[in-house]
Amino acid sequence: MRLIVPLQGVVQGRGGLILGSFIPCTLFYLLQLYLKRNRRPPTHLDPTPSTTDLTRTSSRSSLGPVQVSLRAESIANPNPSAYYVGWSKYLEDPYDRLANPDGIIQLGLSENRLSFDLIEKWMVDNLESVMVGGVGGISRIDEMLLYQPSDGMLEMKKAMANFMSLVMRTTTPFNPSHLVLTSGATAAIEMLSFCLADQGNGLLVPTPYYPGFDRDVIWRAGVELIHVHCCSSDNFSPSIDAFEQAYRNARRHGIKVRGVLISNPSNPVGNILSKEFLYSLLDFAKNKNIHIISDEIYAGSVYGDEEFVSMAEIVGSTDTDKQRVHIVYGISKDLSLPGFRIGVVHSFNETVLTATKRLARFTTVSSPTQRIMISMLSDSSFIEEYMMTNKDRLKKMHQLLVSSLRLSGIKCNESTAGFYCWVDIRHLLGSSSEKGELELWHNLLNVAKINTTPGTSCHCVEPGWFRCCFANLDEGDIPVILDRILRVVNL
Amino acid sequence: MRLIVPLQGVVQGRGGLILGSFIPCTLFYLLQLYLKRNRRPPTHLDPTPSTTDLTRTSSRSSLGPVQVSLRAESIANPNPSAYYVGWSKYLEDPYDRLANPDGIIQLGLSENRLSFDLIEKWMVDNLESVMVGGVGGISRIDEMLLYQPSDGMLEMKKAMANFMSLVMRTTTPFNPSHLVLTSGATAAIEMLSFCLADQGNGLLVPTPYYPGFDRDVIWRAGVELIHVHCCSSDNFSPSIDAFEQAYRNARRHGIKVRGVLISNPSNPVGNILSKEFLYSLLDFAKNKNIHIISDEIYAGSVYGDEEFVSMAEIVGSTDTDKQRVHIVYGISKDLSLPGFRIGVVHSFNETVLTATKRLARFTTVSSPTQRIMISMLSDSSFIEEYMMTNKDRLKKMHQLLVSSLRLSGIKCNESTAGFYCWVDIRHLLGSSSEKGELELWHNLLNVAKINTTPGTSCHCVEPGWFRCCFANLDEGDIPVILDRILRVVNL
């Protein structure tokens, strides 16, 4: 297809048609001639092997280091993205207020430590009884050790559905039978990409977006991400016009668009998509007859006044609407438990559910971990207290960082959810370009010793925006960060 | 390639060359003509959208239920394999000596309950201190909750490498830096298939083989399994001649062979590959310059007198040999902990290690589970006692089933490891064919109410062999099984 269509594009009409046939014909003839000349000798087709044959096989003639697959080679290639380079650098010299005060401060990793004490206390109070204690101890151990459904224990799905209904405040509660558990939301996004789009198909994604999407969608599933550009003038909120334009561009390049991938609340910007926009997006998807994947992993980390609305709330009651909406969730963010590796696919689509349930065999959550989570999620007074306190602490730390930065003349984009400030340091760029942005990022990392995520890692079209995680900070870290930024400002 | 080569095969010489070019030329012309006639109108290429455009998009004209990917549809299709049908049937009516004595007895699932009491005791004695107790309690909780390396904690890799060295008795201990943890061995096989072969490439696999390989290799990675047939006359051991023949056949069909996949000890047959055979297999792989994936998940479940030799022991000291050998292991079988979902890729190949470490993000083992396993694997007196007792119990139960079946005139293939009897009931077939075998399987399931795995699910070429798991049985179950088999014999 890709060979033919461009030829038609170059020469229109009958000329293009003939030329479009003649060129591949000639190539075919030359290829055949080459293959004929380089064919293996017919002796190799004999059914019984002989020692002479073995020493003559064509593979033997090309001996060298054994080759791995092209896709593995591509994945193993050094990843030059600042997102990953910054992480590696941080791991070599991590900041610690007491033990390593000159180390690198990590603002690039999405981890929430603000309410760690609450989780820790729950664990200390409950782990023993969850794992072995009580009358049900023995039967629970039995359940922990042996095979369980790959897509999650029923009890776990029920607990997760209840938690999601609480967090997302949906009118209709989530149904456990629509859930598939995965080893983290990363695996859920990867699995949905695989199931909704074939290799080479595309998903529309508003920029700036979470750098991990490139890994989750492209690496294994081989699906392309088609950028829908958003601008600072709109507070980086996407518009349907931008979706339309990106859709048309993709089609023009011969890419079949199979869906839309949004993160709501947005990572990295921290804003929330309005109800009105979500309705328009569903209309857009209906119009194009494509899917919507809504990554709502920060749904319970809204600290602002705006109300979060889940895409599950937006889908109509008709079956054709429901079939196209798929939600990704997990406990890594809202419950600060990334080490537990629990993600969720929620779908109304029976084919997607059947396929993801089967594929979950490759990404099953271990039973002891499910056992702990069933207990924690069922402890409604703890969950309620945790969610409230955590939001308060997120709000406080966010305000603290934003106001402190403002005092240094640095503004942040307005945000209402998630763990990030989307920081505007365009005025500090040497040149307003990707190069200028990466130079600043490099100085922040190596001179100020702060690891941030530059906008270019999130495919932001405007240079000078940086994602900075505040949820893993201590109040005492903020003056240190500001002091260090000054090192770069005065360069 | 596939289009061209057959044409050369049909008509040799210059005739084939011209015909081989003429036919694709004509097809190209017709395809171009078709595409030209069915092209979208040029208005859709305009950069600015209008409402009129939107209502005219080609997707709108073909509205209907939204489509999922072809690969998801294929995975979601009903799976008619007796292996999966038997499981579903069992789950509807599972046998329980007291609660449901007329239920279906499960001989189709590879679960070891013979030493369950030992594991259970260890858990009761140790879980509390592992999870929360002691001086290190708090720091361990911290480690459990937050992000850890996707490919496994270093401490876990060290414990696993030690355990593998103990189980496989290798001269050189396994190196933790060559390990990548995955969510079960299933994911490890899938990941290696993806990394060693590209879509449409092939792996040679001796039959009969574990039915799950079809899922693990074909579903996601899109790699073909090329059968290397083994016969009862050789105790179902593979020969290098059979590998050579299968390799040549694959090449003749245009399939690029990238490696060999063996399970050693064999699932379903239960035999062990000899040291001599493994050396020959490495020579074969060197000669073809391809990989070897050795699934050694039953390495610690050898109850017979033969000695198990790991493929890791066979690889020479040269780098080119090491680069092609990859080992799959896990704790689901040898430690009877399938619910923990811990598998391992062991590779000496740096590119494979880098790629699998990155891909492990989609299949990470949760930290609490790793924490438990680090403690259990480090408890060397427990591990030693468990391994010894478990082997004794496997041996005893195997002998009991084999001798009881023999009294009923049913023989088993000689075996020395694993959880299965490979049972020869050819004399009970109505007809010596796949159909006859499936009829017998159906009667065993529905009349005798025993779920077995028929040889055809393992791609065995000889009808009449059945895989029966004995490791989840109680001694008291055996007379019940024999009684029930009589129901079918007398049909």
Q: Among B62, B71, B145, whose Cβ lies nearest the Cβ of A119?
A: B145
Cis peptide before A176 (omega within 30 of 0): no
Residue of A nearest to B253 (CA): A45
CA atoms within 13 A on the CB side of B210: 27
Mean pLDDT in chain A? Answer: 88
β pairing state of B257-263 and B224-229? unpaired
Mean pLDDT by 10 residues, chain B (491 residues): 41 50 59 50 32 35 82 93 93 94 95 93 86 58 85 97 96 96 98 98 98 96 98 96 98 98 98 96 97 98 96 84 96 96 97 98 96 95 97 97 95 96 96 97 97 97 97 95 88 64
Does residue B254 sit in the same domain as residue B297? yes
Read off the amino acid at residue B271. Answer: N
Using one digit for the tens of pLDDT, what is the confidence trace for A400-419? 999 999 998 999 999 999 99
Digit-coded pLDDT (tens) for B113-142: 999 899 989 988 888 788 776 544 555 677
Q: Both A356 and A389 in a single domain?
A: no
Return all residues near A148 (Cβ < 8 A) that are at least 6 apart. Answer: A367, A370, B339
Listed in order, strand segments (DSSP E) in A296-397 are 325-330, 343-347
| C-alpha distance from residue B98 to each of B103, B112, B448 (Å) | 10, 20, 18
Specify whether A305 is catalytic: no
* CB A224, CB A218: distance < 8 Å: yes
Last residue of a domain, one of B352, B379, B406: B379
Residues A315, A295: Cα–Cα separation, whole Å: 15
Which of B358, B379, B400 is where one domain is finished? B379
- pLDDT for B43 equals 29
Query: How far is residue B187's CA from residue B207's CA, in Å, rounded to a whole number?
Result: 21
Query: What is the DSSP-derived secondary structure letter of residue A214?
Result: I
B70 interfaces chain A, CB cutoff of 8 Å:
yes
User: CA-to-CA distance for A71 and A73, rounded, in angstroms?
Assistant: 5
Reported in sequence order, the residue ranges of A29-146 that DSSP labels E, i.e. its strands, are: 105-106
**Distance between CA atoms of A182 and A149, rounded to whole angstroms?**
12
Across the interface, do B366 and A339 touch by the CB < 8 Å criterion?
yes
> Which chain A residue lies closest to B76 (C-alpha atoms)?
A355
pLDDT band at A48 (very low <50, low <70, confident <90, very high): very low
Give yes or no: B46 in active site.
Answer: no
The domain that holds B154 is classified in CATH as 3.40.640.10
- Token look-up 């010299």 returns A93
pLDDT at A332: 96
Domain match, A112 and A228 both: no
For residues B304, B310, B316, B317, the Cα torsion angle rounded to the nearest 10 degrees is -120
Would B28 be classed as within a structural domain? no
Amino acid B139 reads S
Q: Which of B62, B248, B366 sits opposite A369 (nearest CB)?
A: B366
- Other Cβ atoms less than 10 A from the Cβ of A253: the count is 11
Residues from chain A that touch B61, judged by Cβ atoms under 8 A, are: none
Same domain, A197 and A303: yes
What angle, 0 to 180 degrees and rounded to 10, lies between the N-to-C axes of helices B82-92 and B434-446?
Answer: 10
- Please compute, for residue A382, the number of CA atoms within 13 A of its CA located in the half-sphere on the CB side: 18
- Give the C-alpha distances (Å, rounded to integers) separating B315 from B239, B291, B422: 19, 12, 30
- Does residue A144 belong to the interface with chain B, where contact is any CB pair within 8 Å? yes
Active site includes A209? Answer: no
Is residue A134 included in any domain, yes or no? no
* pLDDT for B30: 61
State the residue range of the domain holding B258.
146-379
Q: Based on the fold, state whether residues B288 and B372 are members of the same structural domain.
A: yes
Structural contact between residues A177 and A200, judged by C-beta atoms closer than 8 angstroms: no
Is pLDDT at A182 greater than 50 in this prediction? yes
Are A326 and A291 in contact by the 8 Å Cβ rule? The answer is yes
Q: Where are the alpha helices (DSSP H) in B38-148?
A: 51-56, 58-61, 70-76, 82-92, 116-131, 137-145
Rounded to whole angstroms, how far apart are CA atoms B243 and B218?
Answer: 20
Catalytic-role residue among A151, A214, A216, A295: A295
Of B17, B69, B338, the CB nearest to A146: B338
Say which residue the tokens 């001649």 belong to.
B241
The tokens describing B206, both together, are 């001796």
**Secondary structure (3-state) at B210:** coil
> Does residue A133 fall inside a structural domain?
no
Q: In sequence order, what are the beta bridge partners of A423?
A: A412, A466
Residue of B nearest to A153 (CA): B339
Contacts of B174 (CB under 8 A, 6+ apart): B160, B161, B162, B164, B165, B168, B312, B346
Spatial strand order of the sheet with A453-454 comes to A411-412, A420-424, A465-469, A453-454
User: How many CB atoms are closer than 10 A to CB A419?
Assistant: 29
How far is CA B481 from its chain centroid? 27
Q: How many domains does chain B have?
A: 2
Residue A165 sits in the same domain as residue A289: yes
Identity of the highest mean pLDDT range in A21-25, A84-88, A184-188, A483-487: A184-188
Q: How many helices (H) and strands (E) does chain B have?
A: 20, 13
Would A138 be classed as within a structural domain?
no
Given A322, A346, A379, the domain boundary residue is: A379
Q: Which of A333, A386, A424, A449 is catalytic?
A: A333
Q: Residue A276 corresponds to which tokens in the numbers above?
A: 């009105």
Q: Which tens digits make up the pLDDT trace of A117-130?
A: 999 899 888 887 88
H/E run at residue B21: helix B13-37
In angstroms, the CA A55 to CA A342 distance is 52
Which residues have CB under 8 Å from B142's CB, separation 6+?
A: A116, A120
- A110 has a pLDDT exceeding 60: yes
CB contact under 8 A, A65 and B320: yes
Between β-strands B105-106 and B325-330, what pairing exists: parallel, antiparallel or unpaired? unpaired
In chain A, residues 212-271 whose CB comes closer than 8 Å to chain B? 215-216, 219-220, 241, 244-245, 248, 251-252, 258
Rounded CA separation B42/A400 (Å): 54
Which chain A positions have a beta carbon within 8 Å of B351's beta carbon?
68, 72-73, 76
SS3 content of chain B, % helix, strand, coil (to 5): 50, 15, 35
Closest CA to B365 of A2, A310, A176, A363: A363
Say whether A149 sits in a helix, a strand or coil.
coil
Among the listed residues A444, A452, A448, the one whose alpha carbon sits nearest the alpha carbon of residue A480: A448
Q: Two tokens at B178?
A: 């060559």
Is B46 inside a domain boundary? no
Cα–Cα distances (Å) from A296 to A328, A361, B4, in that order, read 6, 23, 49
Rounded to an integer, the average pLDDT of A36-64 is 39
Mean pLDDT calculated for residue range A4-25:
50
Nearest C-alpha neighbor of B344 from the set B178, B127, B472, B490: B178
DSSP-derived 3-state class of residue B42: helix
A289 with A401, same domain?
no
Q: In angstroms, rounded to a whole number, what is the distance separating the alpha carbons of residues A103 and B165?
A: 38
- With a cut of 50, say whether residue A55 has pLDDT above it: no
Chain A hits for B375, Cβ within 8 Å: none
Tokens 């794992």 identify what position?
Answer: A131
Residues A170 and A299 in one domain: yes
Which of B70, B123, B369 is opposite residue A198, by nearest beta carbon? B70
By Cβ distance, the residue of A59, A120, A362 closest to B186 is: A362
Residues A333, A407, single domain; the answer is: no
pLDDT score of A431 more than 80: yes
- The pTM (predicted TM-score) of the whole model is 0.87
- H-helix or E-strand spanning residue A259: strand A257-263
- How far is Cα A57 from Cα A285, in angstroms, rounded to an integer? 53
Query: Which chain B residues have a beta carbon less than 8 Å from that of A210?
Result: none
pLDDT of residue B130: 83
Would you say residue B36 lies in a domain?
Answer: no
The answer to whether B342 faces chain A, any CB pair under 8 Å, is yes
Q: What is the pLDDT of residue B321?
A: 87
* Interface touch A337/B145, C-beta < 8 Å: yes
Contact A123 B111 (CB under 8 A): no
Pick from A445, A411, A124: nearest CA to B132 = A124
Q: Does residue B194 come out as left (phi exceeding 0), alpha (psi in the -120 to 50 range) or beta?
A: alpha
Based on the domain organization, do B195 and B342 belong to the same domain? yes
Q: How many angstroms separate the most distant Cα atoms in chain B?
A: 83
Distance between CA A369 and CA A358 in Å, rounded?
20
For the question of residue A297 being annotated catalytic, the response is yes
CA atoms within 13 A on the CB side of A239: 10
A63 occurs within a structural domain: no
DSSP designation for B360: G
CA dihedral A326, A152, B358, B376 (to 10 degrees): 160
pLDDT at A58: 37
Q: Kindly report, residue by residue over A218-230, the tens digit of the pLDDT.
A: 999 999 999 999 9
| Residue B392 CB neighbours (<10 A) | 13
Question: Which of B132, B201, B351 faces A123 most closely, judged by CB atoms?
Answer: B132
Structure tokens at B300: 């610690």
The DSSP annotation for B49-61 comes to --HHHHHH-HHHH
- In this structure, the answer to whether residues A230 and A324 fall within a common structural domain is yes
B276-303 confidence digits (pLDDT tens): 999 999 999 999 999 999 999 999 999 9
Within 301-340 of B, beta carbons closer than 8 Å to A belong to 320, 323-324, 336-340
A355/B184 CB distance under 8 A: no
pLDDT band at A272 (very low <50, low <70, confident <90, very high): very high
CB A486 within 8 A of CB A408: yes
The predicted pLDDT at position A178 comes to 98
Confirm or reject contact between A111 and chain B (CB < 8 A).
Answer: yes
What is the pLDDT, as a whole number, of residue A378? 96
The CB-side HSE value for A80 (13 A sphere, CA atoms) comes to: 2
Q: What is the pLDDT of residues A325-365, one digit of tens each?
A: 999 999 999 999 999 999 999 999 999 999 999 999 999 99
Residues A347 and A216 in one domain: yes
The answer to the question of residue A327 being in a domain is yes
Alpha carbon dihedral A183, A189, A194, A198, in 10-degree steps, equals: -170
Q: Is the pLDDT of residue A283 over 60?
A: yes
